Amino acid sequence: MVCSQFIIFEFKENSICTIYDKNTFVNEISIDFNDTFISNTSNTKFLGLVITNSLSWKDHITQLTPKLSKACYVLRCIRPFMSQDALKSVYYSYFHALITYGIIFWGNSSYSSHIFWLQKRAVRIITGSRPRDSCR
């Protein structure tokens, strides 16, 4: 039998996140440790990844989307003043770094399509393509 429930502790924020599959009923857990109440949360940030209790990755992608939108804005603003190689350097230093961190976990999520749409937008900005042109 496979264990379907894990617990991640975060003692800095005094919270606990119980991870479970969608078909499991979970009782609320209340823990009192050294006269400090540890509350139950629905998501937690662990090593830079926002993990929800059902591992849906929606919260992580929601948090990542504005950062990538800002990177697209920066690329669009500096495009008239820089060469394509310099724009690629900016892309890899910020945009690509944000995308690749943890993509092995969230890349197959149903919510990741918006992230890849933003990546296509960044590539179109760098190449000077129109919004409806193919990125292939």
118 in the same domain as 83: yes
118 in the same domain as 84: yes
Structure tokens at 69: 């939108």
Q: Evaluate whether residue 21 is within a structural domain.
A: yes
- pLDDT for residue 1: 36
117 in the same domain as 65: yes
Say if residues 80 and 88 touch (Cβ distance below 8 Å): no
- pLDDT for residue 25: 61
* Other CB atoms within 10 A of residue 82 CB: 14
108 in the same domain as 69: yes
Domain residues for the domain of 23 are 5-52
User: Considering Cα of 120, then 124, then 127, then 129, what sign does the dihedral take?
Assistant: positive
70 in the same domain as 36: no
Question: Half-sphere exposure of 93 toward its Cβ, with a 13 Å CA cutoff?
Answer: 8
121 in the same domain as 87: yes
Q: Evaluate whether residue 28 is within a structural domain.
A: yes
76 three-class SS: helix
- pLDDT for residue 2: 44
Q: Evaluate whether residue 135 is within a structural domain.
A: no
- pLDDT for residue 91: 93
* Per-residue pLDDT tens digits of the chain, which is 136 residues long: 344 555 555 555 666 666 666 666 666 666 777 777 777 777 777 788 887 777 788 888 999 999 999 999 999 999 999 999 999 999 999 999 999 998 888 888 888 889 999 999 999 999 988 888 777 7
Rounded CA-CA distance 42/62 in Å is 15
Number of structural domains, the chain? 2
Rounded CA-CA distance 53/29 in Å is 13
79 in the same domain as 30: no
pTM of the model: 0.76
